[in-house]
Amino acid sequence: MRFADELYMRRALELAALGHNTTRPNPMVGCVVTYKGKIIGEGWHQKYGEPHAEVNAINSLADKSLLPHCKVYVTLEPCSHYGKTPPCADFLIEHGIRSIFICNTDPNPLVAGRGIRKLLDAGCEVHVGLLEEEGSELNKRFFTFHRHKRPYIILKWAETADGFISRPNGEPTAISGPLAKKLVHKWRTEEQAIMVGTRTALSDNPQLNVREWTGNAPIRIVMDKDLRLPPTLHIFDKKQPTLVYNYERHEHNPNLEYVKITPAADLLEQILPDLYRRTVQSVLVEGGTILLNYFLESNTWDEIRILRSPQQLEAGVKAPALSLCGLTQTATIGDDELFIYRKYP
């Protein structure tokens, strides 16, 4: 591939990222059209149910008669099926596109190579895999959802320099600084759901919404096996969609649903398939230690984010212990340090 091809695909990836949080359950997709080495059209999938990136890019052209002589760069395999919109592979073929560069194949079973096959059968020149890693990172939630039939799981906690997440009696205490708190609220806008355990809901009474950033509040998920949490907690205020997994009952109310699971079966083997059926593509697990350790011990996670404060408690509830490598990123957030671990499939 020429260096210029990478530049055009990077531009398509930049465009795709503009659709973050507006395209779910669809992936983020960007598209660039070039003619004689110049970009003459571009577009991205802006909102679920609306035209896809390829349609927006081609419709942005002033002179569509140039299309048979153009190259198209698209971050994901063009769809091949009728959904909310017609197939993009057919759309490209109908407009005479002959040369197409694709970043990633689509893991969605409704596509999964069929779009590429349509293009090849129509005589198009198709190049697949340009900046594949960057494309996989962009749509990691979508890819994990379709490949593993579960949401993308992010485990997050804040710990002191001596390894505690709260005081000895579980009493909540501010560990992270104000800048880190703002970052956590930004993270909440980026994930579809947020999960806590019974003890965290009881001791912290968290709202699990977005106050320090602008964006959508996630779906709240709480583990309350024996339904012992009092209804006065913030999590039951019905201000945003909330799922309560428990052993006692099924009950559906506006923005508050009780989902019964079986005590004899594995917890995550029931919850994650249920979230998959609800098309929840990502979950930010915020604690506490029991719930976080459950995910760690079952090796069910994709990313871990730890905010480490310089303060010390000397005693309290210990943070989860990590015996793994895979540290991929560190950063300084105000007075705190951020450590990010990734587990690649």
Give SS3 for 332. Answer: strand
Q: Is 158 annotated as a binding residue?
A: yes
- What residues are paired with 99 via a beta bridge? 71, 125
Q: Sign of the CA dihedral 138, 139, 144, 145? A: positive
Q: Is 286 annotated as a binding residue?
A: yes
Q: Is 325 annotated as a binding residue?
A: no
Look up 297 and say whether it is catalytic. no
Q: Is 229 annotated as a binding residue?
A: no
Which tokens sit at 109? 């079973």
With both helix axes pointing from N to C terminus, report the angle between 289-297 and 267-277 in degrees, rounded to the nearest 10: 90
For the chain, the first-to-last Cα distance in angstroms comes to: 26
Q: Is 198 annotated as a binding residue?
A: no
Q: Is 147 annotated as a binding residue?
A: no
Q: Is 188 annotated as a binding residue?
A: yes
Q: Is 204 annotated as a binding residue?
A: yes
Question: In a 10 Å sphere around its CB, with 0-12 CB exposed, 13-18 middle and 19+ buried, how is residue 104 labelled?
Answer: buried
Judging by DSSP bridges, how do beta strands 256-260 and 251-253 pair with one another? antiparallel
Q: Is 85 annotated as a binding residue?
A: no
Which tokens sit at 163? 């390894």
Query: Is residue 188 within 8 Å of residue 210, measured between CB atoms?
Result: yes
Residue 35 main-chain phi, psi, to 5 deg = -140, 120
| 54, 77, 159, 303: the active-site residue | 54
Which of 244, 272, 269, 273 lies closest to 256 in space, CA to CA? Answer: 244
Q: Is 278 annotated as a binding residue?
A: no
Which tokens sit at 200? 């965290």
Binding site feature residues: 52, 79, 88, 158, 188, 200, 204, 208, 211, 286
Binding site feature residues for substrate: 188, 208, 211, 286
Catalytic residue set: 54
Binding site feature residues for Zn(2+): 52, 79, 88
